[in-house]
Structure 1
Amino acid sequence: MKKATDTLYCVKCGSDSLVKDGEKAYRCGHCGFTYFHNAAAASGAIIVFNGKILLLERALEPSKGKLDIPGGFVDYHESNEQALSRELYEELQLSVSDSDLSYLFSYPNEYLYKDVRYYTVDSFFELILKAEPTLILQQSEVSNFYWVDPKTLNLDDLAFDSCKRALTSYLG
């Protein structure tokens, strides 16, 4: 969280006169530039094999040790599908093409990282596998994986509200 004594600098002129101006805007008192802190985009996959859903155990904060849907943030110049394909390969060494993914829905989320609250829009996709993949985990981000029977899924084990909402809608 920003402390009252923290100084905010303008990204345009470098002046230390940046002040909050509304819910998501910051205005520079020196040059008049307005910075908008908008929502970040993220994508996740509900991966299904043999009636079970793949969940990952988070190796990092926020919510280290909690379960999560595979995925991550969208980089510049990527579509949601491209970002998800990249993330699945980075986290699990799972190769998928954009055409393997079926868009489901999106939900807003809050992501608290190092005391800064990021607002995100999380897009969810379905990926149905015909064969069980050999997964190689990116140990720096994923400590384990589980194929979970939806009937035994405990939503309280999930790290993020958007994932809880997505799985509730998906399994509904």
Structure 2
Amino acid sequence: MSLPPPRLLELGLAHVSLASALHGACFEEGWRPQTFVDLMQGSGVFGFLALDWRDRPLGFALSRVTAGEGEVLTLGVLRESRQQGIGRLLLSGLCGRLAVLGCHVLFLEVAEGNKPAQRLYESFGFRQVGRRKDYYAHLDGSREAALVMRRDLVS
């Protein structure tokens, strides 16, 4: 017997503590709950939680749309749930919602050293259009460039 597939749940203000905990588990330096509140109270911001069949969180994504352009603000999948299609599910959800909202292009930044995420984005048709030197700060004081990627949503 196969298990039901993961599902997406609309990320709301009631989920900011969970989203913050997930962000902290997925990234070296997590965002505080108030960061999520501030973003989500802004215009055009929405997100999703990915949940397993038992409603356990697997990952999250947050996006913003302004004047027909979208941006992936953050997308993370718990380490133990990676390479299982969760990132693809979240990104599909964002792209679908953005297209419905009339968004024609989507941008994101990804750490230069994060090859698995880059492969995911490339598989969705994203291409590198820029590079931001020293964009990400690491806890050890080092800095890492971000690749700016773009995908057209509507032709």
More helix per residue: 2
TM-score normalized by the length of structure 2: 0.30
Q: If you compute each CA radius of gyration, which structure gives the higher value, 1 or 2?
A: 1
TM-score normalized by the length of structure 1: 0.27
The higher relative CO (CA closer than 8 Å, separation ≥ 6) is in 1
